[in-house]
Amino acid sequence: MDKGNIEKSGRYEEYEGSVLDNRYVLEKLIGVGGMAVVFRARDMYINDNTVAIKMLKEDVASDEKMVKRFKNESRAESMLKHPNIVSVHDVSVKGEVKYMVMEFVYGMTLKNYLKAKGGPLSFEEITSYTMQILKALAVAHDNNIIHRDIKPQNVMVLENGKIKVMDFGIAKLPNAETVTVTDKAIGTVYYMSPEQARGKQIDCRSDIYSLGAMLYELSTGTLPFKGDSPVSVVLKQINENPVPPRHIRPEIPVGLEQIILCAMSKKPQDRFQSADIMLDYVKRLRANKKIKFSQLPSQSWMSNFIAGAKRIFAKKEK
């Protein structure tokens, strides 16, 4: 898992060597987060395969809201089978120890990778990672699952350059009660869509906005909005437009700036209307770094709307 952000805890290291449900041998504590700890483990039932065990911390294992979030994550990820999404193999929330069994991926979060690089990523990395994330989102959205927490902390970069999207803990699932977003990490406000910040209804375009904010950071090395408090950042997400990326780094391709600003449009109808549509534009940019898009989805949407309205009125006049 994330080798760039491992926090050790003597209490949880005591679990090393123990066996869960006579099946999973906990080999090594590899990470401690806000609500869970992660172990590298062996699955004795399946050829001693290496897996990752995500275990709820003892102090939150009895919290109904946290358990619901945990179950939400396991359900969402188990529904989605895609090379760019961390897969879930098993989950147990019945006993005192509540855990999830996931595929083991060795790498670091995109956030830590960006810190390690010490600045913006290369054009090749930005486009490659964005295309992979969009493919993962397209599959999730096709299954009516909205991630709601897309940020570089929830994206793993493997050593071979492959991307894995993870942590669907607050995802919006079809036909299910979802977890509120009030308990989310403070860092999340930096990528939150305006409609999500307002508590309004969201759809796949909210994930598009969050990806746009993340793409802004990968391209410029800075967040699109900063503030003295989470509330001040949220207000900027709602009311302000970001400084155009090329004002910060003039060497950023025009097409990349266009994609970022389109994805971060305040109104959902002005953004890319799906992950697949945005993916098409990123592919075209990757193929031609100097491309300048003559018409973005927001412009074509408005043109189509106006044209449609004219046709309706023309029929009425007849």
Domain of residue 113, CATH code: 1.10.510.10
pTM: 0.79
State the pLDDT at residue 186. Answer: 40
> The domain spanning residue 78 has which CATH number?
3.30.200.20
Q: Are residues 269 and 184 in the same domain?
A: yes
Asked if residue 249 belongs to a domain, the reply is: yes
The pLDDT of residue 2: 42
Q: Has residue 3 been placed in a domain?
A: no
- Residue 29 in 3-state DSSP? strand
Number of domain units in the chain: 2
Q: Are residues 74 and 158 in the same domain?
A: no
Task: Clarify whether residues 170 and 277 are in a common domain.
Answer: yes
- Which of left, alpha, beta for 302 (phi over 0: left; psi -120 to 50: alpha)? alpha
Inside any domain, residue 311: no
Tokens matching residue 134 = 């969009």
In the set 149, 167, 207, 270, the catalytic residue is: 149
248, 220 Cβ separation under 8 angstroms: yes
Task: Kindly compute the dihedral angle of the four CA atoms of residues 155, 159, 161, 165, in this order, to the nearest 10 degrees.
Answer: -20
Which residue, among 112, 114, 113, has the nearest Cα to 221 in the 3D structure?
Answer: 114
Domain that holds residue 36: 10-103
Strand partners for 156: 109, 164
Q: Is 2 helix (H, G, I), strand (E, B) or coil?
A: strand
Report pLDDT for 106.
83
Q: What is the pLDDT of residue 77?
A: 66
Domain finish residue from 103, 124, 142:
103
For residue 294, the one-letter residue type is S
- Tell me how far apart the alpha carbons of residues 69 and 167 are, in angstroms, rounded to a whole number: 10
Quick one: 99 and 112 in the same domain?
no
For residues 77 and 118, state if they share a domain. no
Asked if 125 and 182 sit in the same domain, the reply is yes
pLDDT, residue 306, reads 47
Catalytic annotation present for 207:
no
Are 116 and 108 within 8 A, CB to CB?
yes
How far apart CA 163 and CA 85 sit, in angstroms, is 8
* pLDDT in single tens digits along all 318 residues of the chain: 443 333 444 577 777 888 988 899 999 888 777 677 889 999 998 888 899 888 888 776 777 777 777 776 667 666 778 899 988 888 887 777 888 898 888 888 999 999 999 989 999 999 999 999 999 999 999 888 888 889 998 899 998 889 999 876 555 545 444 444 444 444 489 999 999 888 888 889 999 999 999 999 999 999 999 998 889 999 999 999 999 999 999 999 999 999 999 999 999 999 999 999 999 999 999 999 999 998 887 654 444 444 445 445 554 554
| Chain centre distance of CA 71 | 18
Residues 65 and 150 in one domain: no
In a domain, 53, yes or no: yes
User: Same domain for 238 and 124?
Assistant: yes
DSSP strand pairing (155-158 vs 163-165): antiparallel
Does residue 5 lie in a domain region?
A: no
Residues 172 and 96 in one domain: no
* Domain annotation covers residue 303: no
CB distance 256 to 284 below 8 Å = no
Give the per-residue pLDDT at 312: 52
Q: Is residue 26 part of a domain?
A: yes
Q: 145 with 174, same domain?
A: yes
For residues 168 and 252, state if they share a domain: yes
- Give the start-end residues of each E strand in 36-84: 36-43, 49-56
Final residue in a domain of this structure, among 54, 84, 103: 103
309 inside domain: no
Shared domain check, 244 and 162: yes
The predicted pLDDT at position 167 comes to 77
